[in-house]
Amino acid sequence: MNTLNNEKVSTVLNSLHEKSAADSIKRAEQRRKKDFSDWNTAYLAIDRDQGNFLYFLATLQKAKSFVEFGCSYGISTIYLASAARDNGGHVTTTDIEPNKIAGTKDNLENAGLSTEVSVLEGDAMETLATIKDTVDFLFLDGAKILYLPVFELLYPKLSKGAVIVADNIDKPETWPLVDRLKNAPDEFTTAELFSGRMLVAYLKASAADATTRPMET
Protein backbone atom coordinates (compact mmCIF):
# COMPACT_ATOMS: atom_id res chain seq x y z
CA MET A 1 0.00 0.00 0.00
CA ASN A 2 1.16 3.53 -0.80
CA THR A 3 -1.28 6.09 0.52
CA LEU A 4 0.42 8.83 -1.49
CA ASN A 5 -1.17 7.23 -4.55
CA ASN A 6 -4.66 7.69 -3.11
CA GLU A 7 -6.64 10.07 -5.33
CA LYS A 8 -7.75 12.34 -2.49
CA VAL A 9 -4.23 12.56 -1.08
CA SER A 10 -2.54 13.25 -4.41
CA THR A 11 -5.15 15.86 -5.36
CA VAL A 12 -4.70 17.79 -2.12
CA LEU A 13 -0.91 17.58 -2.31
CA ASN A 14 -0.88 18.79 -5.92
CA SER A 15 -3.01 21.78 -4.96
CA LEU A 16 -0.91 22.59 -1.89
CA HIS A 17 2.39 22.38 -3.75
CA GLU A 18 1.01 24.78 -6.39
CA LYS A 19 -0.09 27.21 -3.67
CA SER A 20 3.26 26.89 -1.90
CA ALA A 21 5.15 27.61 -5.13
CA ALA A 22 3.05 30.73 -5.79
CA ASP A 23 3.54 31.82 -2.19
CA SER A 24 7.33 31.43 -2.54
CA ILE A 25 7.32 33.86 -5.48
CA LYS A 26 5.26 36.32 -3.46
CA ARG A 27 7.59 36.04 -0.45
CA ALA A 28 10.68 36.57 -2.59
CA GLU A 29 9.23 39.86 -3.79
CA GLN A 30 8.32 40.82 -0.21
CA ARG A 31 11.85 40.05 0.96
CA ARG A 32 13.20 42.29 -1.78
CA LYS A 33 10.97 45.08 -0.45
CA LYS A 34 11.78 44.16 3.18
CA ASP A 35 8.06 43.62 3.79
CA PHE A 36 7.50 40.95 6.46
CA SER A 37 4.07 42.15 7.56
CA ASP A 38 2.11 38.97 6.85
CA TRP A 39 4.73 36.23 7.14
CA ASN A 40 2.58 34.45 9.70
CA THR A 41 0.54 33.25 6.70
CA ALA A 42 3.56 32.02 4.68
CA TYR A 43 3.59 28.41 3.54
CA LEU A 44 7.30 27.83 4.29
CA ALA A 45 6.78 24.20 3.30
CA ILE A 46 8.91 21.32 2.10
CA ASP A 47 8.94 20.57 -1.61
CA ARG A 48 7.62 17.42 -3.28
CA ASP A 49 11.00 15.64 -3.34
CA GLN A 50 11.49 16.26 0.37
CA GLY A 51 7.96 15.03 1.09
CA ASN A 52 8.50 11.85 -0.87
CA PHE A 53 11.76 11.34 1.00
CA LEU A 54 10.01 11.72 4.37
CA TYR A 55 7.42 9.16 3.31
CA PHE A 56 10.07 6.74 2.04
CA LEU A 57 12.20 7.10 5.17
CA ALA A 58 9.26 6.63 7.55
CA THR A 59 7.87 3.60 5.74
CA LEU A 60 11.33 2.05 5.46
CA GLN A 61 11.78 2.57 9.20
CA LYS A 62 8.23 1.27 9.86
CA ALA A 63 7.71 4.19 12.25
CA LYS A 64 4.52 4.11 14.28
CA SER A 65 4.72 7.24 16.45
CA PHE A 66 5.41 10.52 14.63
CA VAL A 67 5.91 14.02 16.03
CA GLU A 68 6.06 17.08 13.80
CA PHE A 69 7.12 20.52 15.02
CA GLY A 70 5.65 23.12 12.67
CA CYS A 71 2.87 21.90 10.39
CA SER A 72 2.29 25.15 8.47
CA TYR A 73 -0.66 24.25 6.20
CA GLY A 74 -0.12 20.52 6.42
CA ILE A 75 1.99 19.64 3.39
CA SER A 76 4.62 17.72 5.35
CA THR A 77 1.89 16.50 7.69
CA ILE A 78 0.13 14.77 4.80
CA TYR A 79 3.32 12.97 3.78
CA LEU A 80 3.87 11.84 7.37
CA ALA A 81 0.21 10.90 7.83
CA SER A 82 0.36 8.80 4.66
CA ALA A 83 3.30 6.89 6.10
CA ALA A 84 1.49 6.59 9.43
CA ARG A 85 -1.56 5.08 7.73
CA ASP A 86 0.57 2.57 5.83
CA ASN A 87 2.51 1.69 9.01
CA GLY A 88 -0.51 1.57 11.30
CA GLY A 89 0.76 4.59 13.25
CA HIS A 90 -0.20 8.12 14.27
CA VAL A 91 1.14 11.67 13.87
CA THR A 92 1.09 14.42 16.47
CA THR A 93 1.76 17.85 14.97
CA THR A 94 1.77 21.36 16.37
CA ASP A 95 1.84 24.98 15.27
CA ILE A 96 1.39 28.30 17.03
CA GLU A 97 -0.46 30.07 14.17
CA PRO A 98 -4.25 29.57 14.41
CA ASN A 99 -4.79 30.09 10.65
CA LYS A 100 -2.23 27.39 9.85
CA ILE A 101 -3.82 25.02 12.36
CA ALA A 102 -7.20 25.57 10.68
CA GLY A 103 -5.67 25.10 7.23
CA THR A 104 -3.92 21.90 8.27
CA LYS A 105 -7.12 20.44 9.67
CA ASP A 106 -9.04 21.30 6.50
CA ASN A 107 -6.35 19.84 4.26
CA LEU A 108 -6.14 16.63 6.28
CA GLU A 109 -9.91 16.30 6.14
CA ASN A 110 -9.91 16.80 2.37
CA ALA A 111 -7.14 14.23 2.00
CA GLY A 112 -9.04 11.74 4.16
CA LEU A 113 -6.23 11.57 6.74
CA SER A 114 -7.76 13.29 9.78
CA THR A 115 -7.89 10.11 11.85
CA GLU A 116 -4.13 9.65 11.49
CA VAL A 117 -3.22 13.03 12.99
CA SER A 118 -3.63 14.92 16.26
CA VAL A 119 -3.24 18.66 15.59
CA LEU A 120 -2.18 20.73 18.62
CA GLU A 121 -2.35 24.52 18.68
CA GLY A 122 0.05 26.58 20.79
CA ASP A 123 3.63 26.92 21.95
CA ALA A 124 5.45 23.71 21.01
CA MET A 125 7.31 23.63 24.32
CA GLU A 126 3.90 23.30 25.98
CA THR A 127 1.96 21.22 23.46
CA LEU A 128 4.73 18.67 22.91
CA ALA A 129 5.34 18.37 26.64
CA THR A 130 2.08 16.38 26.66
CA ILE A 131 3.62 13.57 24.58
CA LYS A 132 3.58 10.42 26.72
CA ASP A 133 4.48 7.65 24.30
CA THR A 134 7.81 6.91 22.68
CA VAL A 135 8.63 8.75 19.46
CA ASP A 136 9.90 6.86 16.41
CA PHE A 137 10.06 9.74 13.93
CA LEU A 138 10.63 13.43 14.73
CA PHE A 139 10.36 16.10 12.05
CA LEU A 140 11.51 19.63 12.90
CA ASP A 141 10.25 22.43 10.65
CA GLY A 142 8.96 25.16 12.94
CA ALA A 143 10.69 28.17 14.50
CA LYS A 144 14.38 27.49 13.93
CA ILE A 145 15.49 28.84 17.30
CA LEU A 146 13.37 26.15 18.98
CA TYR A 147 14.89 23.16 17.15
CA LEU A 148 17.28 22.27 19.96
CA PRO A 149 14.83 22.96 22.84
CA VAL A 150 12.13 20.85 21.15
CA PHE A 151 14.62 18.07 20.49
CA GLU A 152 15.83 18.07 24.10
CA LEU A 153 12.22 18.09 25.32
CA LEU A 154 11.47 14.94 23.31
CA TYR A 155 14.88 13.27 23.57
CA PRO A 156 13.88 11.11 26.58
CA LYS A 157 10.92 9.82 24.54
CA LEU A 158 12.90 8.78 21.46
CA SER A 159 12.86 5.07 20.75
CA LYS A 160 15.93 3.06 19.82
CA GLY A 161 16.37 3.52 16.09
CA ALA A 162 14.39 6.77 16.07
CA VAL A 163 14.85 9.05 13.09
CA ILE A 164 15.18 12.81 13.47
CA VAL A 165 14.79 15.02 10.41
CA ALA A 166 15.46 18.76 10.55
CA ASP A 167 14.69 21.05 7.63
CA ASN A 168 16.33 24.40 6.83
CA ILE A 169 19.61 23.59 8.55
CA ASP A 170 21.27 26.24 6.39
CA LYS A 171 19.75 28.75 8.85
CA PRO A 172 22.14 29.71 11.70
CA GLU A 173 19.39 29.36 14.31
CA THR A 174 19.32 25.62 13.68
CA TRP A 175 23.05 25.08 14.15
CA PRO A 176 22.91 24.32 17.89
CA LEU A 177 20.78 21.27 17.04
CA VAL A 178 23.02 20.33 14.13
CA ASP A 179 26.06 20.49 16.41
CA ARG A 180 24.25 18.47 19.09
CA LEU A 181 23.52 15.64 16.66
CA LYS A 182 26.69 15.66 14.59
CA ASN A 183 29.00 15.89 17.61
CA ALA A 184 27.59 12.75 19.25
CA PRO A 185 28.74 9.97 16.86
CA ASP A 186 28.30 7.31 19.55
CA GLU A 187 24.60 8.22 19.72
CA PHE A 188 23.70 9.34 16.21
CA THR A 189 24.50 8.59 12.62
CA THR A 190 23.84 11.73 10.57
CA ALA A 191 23.66 12.83 6.95
CA GLU A 192 23.01 16.17 5.26
CA LEU A 193 20.79 16.05 2.17
CA PHE A 194 19.06 18.33 -0.33
CA SER A 195 22.09 20.56 -0.90
CA GLY A 196 22.74 20.85 2.83
CA ARG A 197 19.24 22.03 3.71
CA MET A 198 18.07 18.92 5.56
CA LEU A 199 19.71 16.87 8.31
CA VAL A 200 18.76 13.26 8.98
CA ALA A 201 19.89 11.56 12.19
CA TYR A 202 19.49 7.97 13.31
CA LEU A 203 19.51 7.26 17.05
CA LYS A 204 21.59 4.17 17.71
CA ALA A 205 20.27 3.66 21.26
CA SER A 206 17.34 5.13 23.13
CA ALA A 207 17.81 7.70 25.88
CA ALA A 208 16.71 5.04 28.38
CA ASP A 209 19.44 2.72 27.11
CA ALA A 210 21.99 5.50 27.46
CA THR A 211 21.09 6.13 31.08
CA THR A 212 21.43 2.46 31.99
CA ARG A 213 24.61 1.83 30.04
CA PRO A 214 27.52 1.02 32.37
CA MET A 215 30.15 3.71 32.64
CA GLU A 216 33.55 2.98 31.14
CA THR A 217 36.47 2.78 33.53
Domain residue spans of the chain: 3-206
**One-letter identity of residue 61:** Q
b/e burial code for range 49-88 (CB count within 10 A of at least 16 → b):
ebbebbbebbbebebbbbbbbbbbbbbbbbbbbbbbbbbe
Q: What is the pLDDT of residue 24?
A: 75
Do residues 126 and 31 lie in contact, with contact meaning Cβ atoms separated by under 8 Å? no
Query: Mind listing the pLDDT tens digit for each residue in 36-52?
Result: 666 566 767 899 999 99
pLDDT at 39: 56
Q: What is the pLDDT of residue 203?
A: 97
Inter-CA distances, 29 with 6, 10, 42, 43, 111, Å: 35, 29, 13, 15, 31
| Predicted pLDDT at 54 | 98
Distance of CA 75 to the CA centre of its chain: 10
**What pLDDT does 214 receive?**
44
- In terms of Cα–Cα distance, which of 92, 90, 107 is closest to 9? 107
pTM: 0.91
In tens, the pLDDT along 98-140 reads 999 999 999 999 999 999 999 999 999 999 999 999 999 999 9
In eight-state DSSP terms, residue 187 is: T
Average per-residue pLDDT for the chain:
91
Measured CA to CA, the distance from residue 13 to residue 19 in angstroms comes to 10
Positions in the chain short of pLDDT 50: 211-217
Pick among 3.40.50.720, 3.90.230.10, 3.40.50.150, 2.60.40.10: CATH of 3-206: 3.40.50.150
How far, in Å, CA of 37 to CA of 80, rounded?
A: 30
Confidence (pLDDT) at 208: 58
